[in-house]
Structure 1
Amino acid sequence: MTDDRKNQTEELPPGYPPTKVKFEIYGEEMIEKLVKSSGNSGRVYLPPDWVGRHVKIIRVD
């Protein structure tokens, strides 16, 4: 990390949410799901034909 970027990060108040960023990705399919609680973590169910496939998860809110 450059010194300039490090200084910008340090100037934010504690607990301040990071700014939104734009991702541009190419893929085969997209599904929007709500993450459900599962013990001490979250869970998202995906179609069975996605088993063994490479996926990327992006939090949008």
Structure 2
Amino acid sequence: MAIADKKNDRFKEDYSRKKVKFEIFGEELIEKIVNSSGNSGRVYLPPEWIGKIVKVVKC
């Protein structure tokens, strides 16, 4: 097996769509539906959140 093949083997793992648990500590939670925006998606957040760090988890 060539070296390049060995490097690519680690990307061939079967990543199924199993649910995982995340534990997140924060100040506020907003649940929204993602809207279409061109070739991407968009979620509008409050202006008070500008400059803050946010994390997005797909359920």
**Percent identity (aligned):** 60
Q: Structure 1 runs of 4+ off > 6 angstroms?
A: none
Matched residue count:
48
TM-score by length of 2: 0.74
Unaligned runs of 5+ in 1: 1-5
Note the aligned Cα RMSD (angstroms).
1.6
User: Residue 53 of structure 1 aligns with which residue?
Assistant: 52
Which entry has the higher C-alpha Rg, 1 or 2? Answer: 2
User: Residue 23 of structure 1 aligns with which residue?
Assistant: 22
Unaligned runs of 5+ in 2: 1-9
TM-score by length of 1: 0.71
